[in-house]
Amino acid sequence: MSLLLFIEQALNGLQFGVMLFLMAAGLTLVFGVMGLINLAHGSLYMVGAFAAAAVAAATGSFLLALVASFVCAAFAGVLIEFFVIRRLYDRDHLDQVLATFALILIFSEGTRWTFGSFPLFLDKPDWLSGTVMLPFGIEYSLYRLVIILVGLIVAASLFWMIARTRIGIRIRAGENDREMIGALGVNISLLYTFVFALGAALAGLAGALIGAIQSVQVGMGEPVLILAFVVIVIGGIGSIKGALIGAILVGLTDTLGRSLLPALFGLFLEPSSATSLGASLSSMSIYLLMIGVLLFRPKGLFGGV
């Protein structure tokens, strides 16, 4: 494998990781602040993608579509938080898993009902298609590069918000001692709704951005959701920094594994079995990574003690 191809694959891995971070950030915030495990996070990703596809089809504007994905997912987040999720904060994880599993069923079938079973198409706009020349003569897709940048900007603003703003202080305080900040006059239920909606909006945005390179269809959220879970488990649940590092680790492992492992096995196996062994091992690689991390650090890389 040539070095250029390797760098391109590494960039793809970074792009995948950055998108996973958008998903994982919401999950880890919601778990860290509210102690809630939310399986329906993948449905919010799907809602974002469908909202973007619908708006893009109606207006033809990709930017409007992105705004719509962000707003619609946030709105869906507020709705389910208000009607369902807030009843689950004091419940055990089993109830949370089941109730959010039920939400997935409702969201998926509801979307199928509204939009049909066929995938929708969301095209990237002309001004974002094509390739750019990076230093050292690397040709790379402009859209994927923009995704990486958008993801990094969102990550930076999230870090800034949590570290520097009043709302971030409240979120961190909520993680430490929710009763105390309630006693200090912070409207906890409003804070919870805000955190949930923020996570939902980020998931929706990720759905729209990815929807433009893959297809927009029912059930698109769950594979990503499970990867996002792997990310936050590796990073340590509740840690934004862990989510970022975990996401990039998972993104790189998955993408590079898929391209490198078959080539690696090809060195000492015949081509056909190298391809199949490489493919099966690389599809398991991130789970092996997670198991490895958990064996040495049962609370993840940046998990609390």
Instruction: Determine the residue type at 82.
Output: F
Smallest distance, another protein to C-beta of residue 41, A: 13
* Site string (166-205) toward another protein, x via CB under 8 A: ----------------------------------------
Is position 206 an interface residue for another protein (rule: CB under 8 A)? Answer: no
The answer to whether residue 260 forms part of the interface with another protein (CB under 8 A) is no
Distance CA(152)–CA(183), nearest Å, equals: 36
Q: Considering only 51-59, 68-76, 174-182, 295-303, which stretch makes contact with another protein by CB under 8 A?
A: 295-303
Using CB under 8 A, which residues numbered 86 to 105 contact another protein? 87, 93-95, 97-99, 101-105
What is the SS3 assignment for 237? coil
Nearest to 12 by CA among 217, 252, 225: 252
CB contact at 8 A, 204 and 51: yes
Rank residues 204 and 300 by Cβ distance to another protein and give the closer one.
Answer: 300
Interface pick for another protein out of 60, 110, 130, 304 (rule CB under 8 A): 110
Q: Cβ closer to another protein: 65 or 247?
A: 247
Where do we find the tokens 């961190």?
A: 172
Closest CA to 234 of 275, 274, 304, 289: 289
Q: Does 295 interact with another protein (rule: CB under 8 A)? A: yes
**From candidates 143, 229, 265, 302, binder to another protein by CB under 8 A:** 229
For 52, the token pair is: 């973007």
Give the interface segment with another protein, choosing from 15-23, 135-143, 151-159, 275-283 (CB under 8 A). Answer: 275-283
| C-alpha–C-alpha distance, residues 235 and 93, integer Å | 20
Helix intervals (H) in the chain: 3-34, 41-59, 62-83, 93-115, 142-164, 166-176, 178-183, 188-211, 221-235, 240-266, 271-296
HSE-CB of 298 using CA atoms within 13 angstroms: 1
Binding footprint of another protein on the chain (CB under 8 A): 31, 37, 84, 87, 93-95, 97-99, 101-106, 108-110, 112-113, 222, 226, 229-230, 233, 237, 276, 279-280, 283-284, 287-288, 290-291, 294-295, 298-300
